[in-house]
Structure 1
Amino acid sequence: MSKQLSAVLDTTLSLIGQFQTALTTLPTGAAEAAKDAEALPLLTASSSALKGHVTKLSLLAITSPFTHSAVGTVLRELNESVLPSLVTASLLVTPAQYTKAFHSEVLLLVKTSMTELSALVREVKLIGEKKDQEKEDTGKESGVTKSEKDAVTLATGRVWDACDATIDVANKGVVGFVMRRVEQWRDLVRDAVEEIEDWDPEEEDDGFFDDVLSDDGKGGDDKGEDDDEDDEEETAALQEHKKSTLRFLKPIAQAYPAIINNRLKNAGNEPLASSSDVKKLESLMLNLQAIPDDVDEAAGALYEANFETSAQYLRKTRKCATQAVELVASPWGSADVKDDAPADKFAAWSKTWLKVVDEVSKSIEKN
């Protein structure tokens, strides 16, 4: 391979490593710079540019003859413009202005893009080295093998996927990202509720131990009657706790669509207008994220007839759900709302919801 192209390839690989390191540390002044920067449009543009350059690079690598100058041109553009822009955009998506979760998601996607790009560049380097060796040995260049083409195509597709995911997140913005996550957690809670509804405590006893004492003829009948009574009492207790658990969980599940429809849909960038609303959005996510796991733990304890543990997790669920609803009871930027503004529908709904949750929580407080 020509020394010039080899140097450019090595520079690209070195830069990718340096940029990935840079992405692990928020530089001083990034938070201040982000206030006036259009980070998400830049992230979209640079990801699109990376996808376009990767397409060119892959085509040049698998099309004979292997043109060193053309490959070098694409790599230089990546090194000098595309990659620096992509890294700059991702670093401008600061936790303070875009939430920690969104910041982490963007960094993960950009790091993935870099990793997959590195794999592609290595494949291109291997092909270039092979072509040069062939010319040196035979004076001519053979075509690209199927395995080489497949390797380049696969690596290119992975970069495309990472770029598409980054573009999707950037276009949807912070609120869109949060809404998608909340929808996922909503579905998990719904699935858990449906599973509890489908669970039949009467099917838990398979009768395996019903005649355990009857084989030796010692008190089998009396023992059997006592066991039947115990089974009936346990089944009745399970049924009662299943009923109270479902009564409690249904309003919890209703909080998710209510928040999505009234506080996230059509919110635009309103929650990012002030640092207090960014923190509110952050806390909202943390509370709504914790609920599905607590519900699963409560359901698992219920299935094992461990009512005390189940109640403990239901109380955790109540705390998180209540905090989530209270966080967004007022509209975004409510400090700027005039006193004579129309009453907010969700604010009124949240008051009713809190009363309902207080009422259905009475049964779990007994445990």
Structure 2
Amino acid sequence: MAPKPASLRALLDITSTTLTLLTHFQSSLSPASTTDASIPPPPNPLQALKACTALLKSHTTTLSLLLLTPPLTPSAIITKIGDVSSGPLTGLVGAAVAEGGLGGLMQGEVKVQVRRLLGAWGEVVGCVARLAEKRKKLEESDGAAKAKGKDVGLTEGERQDVLAATGVVWEACDALVKLCDGGIAGLVVRKAEEWRSVLLDAVEELKEWGEDVDEEDDEAEGSDGEFGDEDEMFGAANKLGKGDKELKEVLDKGVKKLKMVGVLYQALIKRRLKTFPGSAPAGAANGEAQKDPMATLEELMKLMKSIPEQVDDLASAFYDLDEDEAKTMLDKCCGEAKSAASLVKQSWTGTDDEFTAWSTKWEDALNAP
């Protein structure tokens, strides 16, 4: 006797189970979650992620075709959903939560991308559940035999829902593949360029704020009456005046030094981030073991991220006309920039190179009064 075909009830059960599993997976990938030391990372985590992503995209395409082509076939759909849960989804989450192999920054980005992909896949499963529920109600009202004759496929709205959900999965898959193709170096370069842009925008704002002094003071001298205009009346507390010469000198000095920090970011991106090896070297030229490049990279990225944030505090000190705080924050920003340069003064293999010599000259220029 041939096996009884899978029922719509069984299909609804697996969609419910899968959605519960996705919720669990997404929780394990939340920012508050930690890496799982019990899960060993695959030999090449990024290649494993790419392979799982390609498989998931393929399964999603097949499932979409099954949903769009009548009649609805519970057995084939159940098999496809089960294959996805036990295969690519488990592989993706395992690679994302395994301890080691990717570094903190890359692993954090992978978790974000995988969570997005899980959410997109959940929408596809949701489409399956809605279609199965609709079909089940039709059978309950008309009987299975009569309902079979009415199975003419999806409405236009349902077709669009399936296509849209499938498209979101494809986009999420493509984004994850792009992240993997770029590798750790690609990610850190992109992050560093974003932080450099934020830094230079803040410097430009400070520069423009300082350049407004003379013009605004001249206008103030020519104003009549007890009160000036609204901007003058309410903005005077955080605008430089001609009497704030010492603070203006600190500002000019700060703008100059912060522009040099921006130049350092360019050099770090070109000479260190783009050349990141992705794995620990066997040793330096003198045969001594070197510090793990991944740990050094993580420390460098923390410094590069923190400097633009501190420039915001520096700007606040200037806007508050707090000279002492401005000097303190400027020293802190410059100190962290020097720490970043010093951290990777030598190449990833522990040898001197063009950046080594350049960074020494750069620091001397930054230290100049």
Q: TM-score, normalised by structure 1?
A: 0.81
Aligned to 1:50: 56
**1:89/1:242 Cα in 2 relative to 1: closer, same or farther (>3 Å)?**
same
Task: Tell me, in whole angstroms, the C-alpha distance in 2 between the residues paired with 1:276 and 1:58.
Answer: 45
One of 307, 314, 318 as aligned partner of 2:323: 307
Given residue 186 of structure 1, which amino acid in structure 2 is its aligned partner?
R
Task: After TM superposition, give the deviation of residue 239 of structure 1 in Å.
Answer: 4.5
- After superposition, the CA RMSD in angstroms is 2.8
Does 2:15 align with 1:15? Answer: no
Q: What is the identity, as a one-letter code, of the residue corresponding to 2:63?
A: L
Match of 1:91 among 94, 97, 105: 97
Corresponding residue SS for 2:243: helix
- Within the candidate set 119, 123, 133, 1:119 is matched to 123
Who is 2:174 aligned against?
164
Aligned pair count? Answer: 333
Q: Would the alpha carbon gap of residues 12 and 214 (structure 1) be closer, same or farther in structure 2, given more than 3 Å must change?
A: closer
Deviations 1:69-114 (A, max 9, x none): 222221121122121221222233x3x4432121211122212211
More helix by share: 1
Q: Which amino acid aligns with 1:253?
A: G
Distance 1:284 1:127 in 2: 51
Q: Is the 8 A contact 1:271 1:281 kept in 2?
A: no
What does residue 276 of structure 1 align with?
A: 292
**Conserved? CA contact 2:281–2:349, under 8 Å:** no
Contact 1:97 1:278 in 2 (8 A): no
Q: Structure 1 residues 279 and 214, CA, compared in 2 at 3 Å: closer, same or farther?
A: closer
Counterpart in 1 of 2:163?
Answer: 153
Alignment CA distance shift 1:331-1:120 (3 Å): same
Supply the distance in 1 between the matched residues of 2:292 and 2:322 (Cα, whole angstroms). 41
Contact 2:48 2:95 in 1 (8 A): yes
Give the C-alpha shift of residue 355 in structure 1: 1.0
Counterpart CA distance in 2 for 1:244 and 1:189 is: 16
Equivalent position to 1:201, from 192, 212, 215: 212
Contact 1:134 1:141 in 2 (8 A): no
Q: Percent identity?
A: 31
Note the alpha carbon deviations across 1:147-168, whole angstroms, 9 max, x for none.
Answer: 3233333332332232222222
SS at match of 1:233: coil
Q: How far apart are residue 287 of structure 1 and its match?
A: 0.3
Whole-angstrom distance in 2 between the partners of 1:134 and 1:22: 38
- The yes-or-no answer on 1:102 pairing with 2:106 is yes
Q: 1:214 to 1:265 in 2, by over 3 A?
A: closer
| 1:290 equivalent among 297, 306, 320 | 306
Q: Does 1:132 align with 2:136?
A: yes
**Native 8 Å contact 1:97 1:272 kept in 2:** no
**Structure 1 residue 173 and structure 2 residue 183: aligned?**
yes
CA distance in structure 1 between the aligned counterparts of 2:222 and 2:59, rounded to whole angstroms: 69
Aligned to 1:218: none
Distance 2:256 2:68 in 1: 62
- Cα 1:312–1:207 shift into 2, 3 Å: same
Match of 1:79 among 74, 80, 85: 85
What is the alpha-carbon distance in structure 1 between the residues aligned to residue 270 and residue 366 of structure 2?
Answer: 20
Pick aligned residue for 2:8 from 2, 5, 17: 2
Query: Distance in 2 between the 1:15 and 1:198 partners?
Result: 54
Distance 1:209 1:126, change over 3 A: farther
Tell which deviates more after alignment, 148-157 or 167-176. Answer: 148-157
Tell me the distance in 2 between the aligned counterparts of 1:109 and 1:142. 37
Instruction: Write the distance in 2 (CA, Å) between the matches of 1:91 and 1:176.
Output: 21
* 5+ residue gaps, structure 2: 1-6, 229-239, 283-289
Question: Which piece of structure 1 moves more, 197-206 or 76-85?
Answer: 197-206
